Copies of this chain bind each other. A is one copy, B any other.
């Protein structure tokens, strides 16, 4: 029962090959191409799948299926992905599942990237011993998930949007078009936009120097981590703001749901790790109704591979 799981993101494509015990036998990571539209992305995924199978030394014939976690709107039955704003030229609907299945000659299942990362943490990661938890995944945006009785609660399909809990209605504009969402404070894209705006008014920061030195075009999680380590005042201020907003959003969600735990993941959450989480816990605790018995807080333990591992569970359904 070997399977490949692929986490498709705006920046990178991460693939893993899992054995029957869901252990990762091999992985492949490559940049998401931004110059050839959805067909180019499909081709890059096919290349990554072929490569991860090759690396694992498992016979291609023994791989039963491929799961892909994607942003945007997923139609699992039709095998399509629509409106994936972070992906290149992906405003319309593209038959990713069908294209990919044709190229690699394997069954392909699609799922929502964040939902799969939350599911992986619930089945195999930091949430494995929690009956209920709130997953908060910090990346370009903020995704989330709600686990109730060990199963992801999807509501009418779109539950888990903790990034669009409103932390302060008079707050900054959010990439979603509203104001003062958690993501407007603690999503990487929003933090970068704020940093650029402040730099344009003459405020100093080493964030963009680090970015250039790392040959990046965006403020990646690694750039933020480095700037914090160097005590850059603007990075520190933006992360402080993000911690405060996260505390308000998480406390509100905890007061509403009283879950067993809170799992913080995503590229930025994992990169900043336990010290960052400790600060979030410290600011969240006084805002909780049940502060004398707080939920367990944990960093997502599957790390960067969580999304791909979650995708690799899809062929088992």
Asked if B158 and A289 make an inter-chain contact with CB atoms under 8 angstroms apart, the answer reads yes
- The proximity string for A residues 222-264 relative to B, scoring 1 for CB distances below 8 Å and 0 otherwise, is 0000000000000000000000100011011101111110000
Shortest C-beta distance, A202 to chain B (Å), equals: 27
User: Given the complex of chains A and B, what is the CA–CA distance between A155 and B149 in angstroms?
Assistant: 9
A157 to chain B, nearest CB (A): 7
**Knowing A169-B167, A176-B289, A290-B156 touch, does A162 contact B248 (C-beta < 8 A)?**
no
**Is A160 in contact with chain B by the CB < 8 A criterion?**
yes
Q: Does A161 contact B (CB under 8 A)?
A: yes
Given the complex, which residues of B lie within 8 Å of A170, measured CB to CB? 168
* Cα distance, A176 to B255, chains bound together (Å): 12
Copies in the complex: 2
A166 touches B260 (CB 8 A): no
Residue A293 lies at the interface, judged by CB distance under 8 Å to chain B: yes
Which residues of B have CB within 8 Å of A160?
256, 258
Q: Contact: A166 with B257, CB < 8 Å?
A: no
- A302 proximal to B (CB < 8 A): no
Asked if A165 is at the interface (CB within 8 A of a chain B CB), the reply is: yes
Q: How many chain A residues touch B (Cβ–Cβ < 8 Å)?
A: 41
Task: Please tell me if the beta carbons of B259 and A155 are within 8 angstroms of each other in the complex.
Answer: yes
Q: Is A115 an interface residue (CB 8 A)?
A: no
Interface residue? A219 (CB, 8 A): no
CA distance A248 to B248 in the complex (A): 13
CB contacts (< 8 Å) of A295 on chain B: these are 156
B165 touches A258 (CB 8 A): no
Q: Is the CB of A293 within 8 A of B164?
A: no
**Residue A154 lies at the interface, judged by CB distance under 8 Å to chain B:** yes
In the complex, the answer to whether A169 meets B168 with C-beta atoms within 8 Å is yes
Cβ-neighbour of A155 out of B132, B168, B252 (below 8 A): B132
Q: Is the CB of B153 within 8 A of A148?
A: yes
Partner of A146, one of B257, B286, B293: B257
Q: Determine the distance from Cα of A295 to Cα of B158 in the docked complex, in whole angstroms.
A: 12
Judge whether A78 is part of the interface by a CB distance below 8 angstroms. no
Tell me whether A178 is interfacial, beta carbon within 8 Å: yes
Cβ of A58 < 8 Å from any Cβ of B? no
A257 near B289 with CB under 8 A, answer no
A262 vs B293: C-alpha distance when bound (angstroms)? 28
Is B256 within 8 A of A156, CB to CB?
no
Q: Does A206 contact B (CB under 8 A)?
A: no
A294 nearest CB across to chain B (Å): 10
Name 4 extra pairs, CB < 8 A, besides A148-B153, A155-B259, A162-B256: A146-B257, A157-B258, A161-B289, A166-B287
